[in-house]
Amino acid sequence: MEQTTTDHDTGGIGRRQLLSAVGGSAVAAALAGCSTLLSDGETADQGGQSGGEISDEPIQAGLLTFTRGAPGVLGIQAQRGAELAVQRINEAGGVGGQREIELDVVNEGSNPLDSYNQFIEEGKEVTFGPISSGTHSQIAPEVEKNEIINVSTDGTVTTLYEETVPDPTYSFRFQNYDIMEVVTMAREAVERIGADNISTVAGVNPSYSFGEDEMRVFTQAIQKLTDAEIVYEGFPELGASDMSNHITSINNEEPDVTFSSLWGGDVTTFVRQANANDMFENTTVFGTTLYSAAGDVPGDALAGTDIYSGSRNYYWGLPALGNWQPGRELFDAATQQEGVTVPTAHYMSGYGAVTAWATATEKAIDLLGTYPSQEQIAQVLEGHGFFTPAGYHNIAEDHQGASNSFAGQMVYDDDLGAARLDDVNTYAATETAPPPGVTGSDWLDSWSA
């Protein structure tokens, strides 16, 4: 059925502007979910000079993600997102109109560096992932040594490009990183409660680098915004079955705000036990990745709670479905895939990482008229802007993801059969991230108290 598209339908972006922004190629339009825009009788400029200079050999790609166990709650979402992006690229004719992608997926598991190095030995032309910040810190130096582009799906630790690989060439991050999502939730707490009403703060975060990093940044941000006192910090092990000691401590302190970066199955454990022990009568919870459990947390666990969660990419509800039809298309396609009850932000992590690399490669082909080298693709990725059904994204000059952030109240939707975010606020990257070249800590220190 032919569809007429207006500026309102595309969020105020005109059709020609949209095609220009996505690069004008079939692959870029398909990844942005804009195929319907090309069916109005006009012929889109396919862009590029994809002639005989480009091989028709498939591109060998690797994805490092968690495919089983508790972290699989996130990792399988990223895997399915990456697989759908690859499917759309191949259906659009492949990269440069000639090269389809063959994606090899391996479990991040206990020896992720070995799995990554196996990808390189096999001759992969690009790698995606990982999920874990610890894994990302391990492989990023190897990526630079091997000079093969990696676009991470997550691995969001703030120090990665400040200390671990301070001057990267081939390592990129699609996803917003820790400081962005933490500052988003600090601003959200002030927006919802008011700075004058926040004098005490507690934290319950995972016991590894990600959780420790997020609590450190939240403490720095919320104290700049409110001058609040930190009255409790707890760090349960991943997969802990009993969080009662942390919940008891919070009930004893009755903090105005409880911050958490728990994710996946740990969210369900924490919320269920906190609700059973009336914790939500004593505090309001703000979390960066609580929404990662959207497809798993049961409705009775959320009943009566007061929880606000961020979402790294809240793509199927905002932009509103009525205004951004591609979001509906991707949502429907995702829910048909094995293991996806509701596509969460981590689904978009996988989809977006592949999209970032593919659209940058298409752009390089447009510029060069031939298939680009690793270094040339890397140069295009710096400052690269592109669309997905989640909206517009950018990879900044410092290789960090720099997209809008979203936060809203986490509620259970009976019709959806899963949790969703309600009353969503949007925060621009300029509100949540330091300028390129400035460390997160220095940026937060520069805030006026």
How big is the CA angle at 35 (ends 151 and 319), to the nearest 5 degrees? Answer: 70
pLDDT confidence tier of residue 412, bands split at 50, 70 and 90: very high
pLDDT confidence tier of residue 13, bands split at 50, 70 and 90: very low
Which helix (H) or strand (E) covers residue 394, if one does?
A: strand 391-394
Check residue 35 and give its pLDDT.
47
Q: What is the DSSP letter of 314?
A: -
* Model confidence pLDDT, tens digit, residues 93-103: 999 999 999 99
Taken in order 380, 358, 183, 220, the sign of the CA dihedral is: negative
Give the Cα separation of 422 and 83 in Å (integer): 28
Which helix (H) or strand (E) covers residue 304, if one does?
A: none
Check residue 203 and give its pLDDT.
98
- Flag whether pLDDT at 321 surpasses 60: no
pLDDT confidence tier of residue 19, bands split at 50, 70 and 90: very low
* Model confidence pLDDT, tens digit, residues 322-374: 555 667 778 888 889 998 888 888 899 999 999 999 999 999 998 888 999 99
Which are the contacts of 114, defined by CB distance < 8 A and separation ≥ 6?
none
- The amino acid at residue 356 is A
Give the Cα separation of 115 and 119 in Å (integer): 6
Check residue 342 and give its pLDDT.
81
pLDDT confidence tier of residue 437, bands split at 50, 70 and 90: confident
Where do the CATH 3.40.50.2300 domains begin and end in the chain? 57-175+318-400, 177-311+431-444
Check residue 326 and give its pLDDT.
63
Check residue 317 and give its pLDDT.
61
Quickly tell me which residue has 């091989």 as its tokens. 55
CATH superfamily of 177-311+431-444: Response regulator (3.40.50.2300)
Q: What length is written for the chain?
A: 449
Check residue 33 and give its pLDDT.
65
- As beta bridge partners, residue 201 has 230, 257
Averaged pLDDT for residues 247-271: 95
| H-type alpha helices, 61-208 | 72-91, 112-121, 133-146, 178-193
Check residue 384 and give its pLDDT.
94
Q: Which CATH architecture has domain 57-175+318-400?
A: 3-Layer(aba) Sandwich (3.40)
Give the Cα separation of 266 and 271 in Å (integer): 8
Check residue 323 and give its pLDDT.
54
Computed over every residue of the chain, the mean pLDDT equals: 86
Contact between residue 262 and residue 270 where contact means Cβ atoms under 8 Å apart: yes
Question: What is the value of pTM for the model shown?
Answer: 0.83
- Flag whether pLDDT at 32 surpasses 90: no
pLDDT confidence tier of residue 53, bands split at 50, 70 and 90: low
- Flag whether pLDDT at 158 surpasses 90: no
pLDDT confidence tier of residue 70, bands split at 50, 70 and 90: confident
| H-type alpha helices, 369-419 | 374-381
| H-type alpha helices, 8-68 | 15-22, 26-31
* Model confidence pLDDT, tens digit, residues 248-258: 999 999 999 99
- Flag whether pLDDT at 310 surpasses 50: yes
271 HSE (CA, 13 A, CB side): 36
- Give one word for 274, left, alpha or beta, with left for phi > 0 and alpha for psi -120 to 50: alpha
Averaged pLDDT for residues 414-431: 88
pLDDT confidence tier of residue 238, bands split at 50, 70 and 90: confident
- Flag whether pLDDT at 294 surpasses 90: no
* Model confidence pLDDT, tens digit, residues 170-216: 999 999 999 999 999 999 999 999 999 999 999 999 998 889 989 99
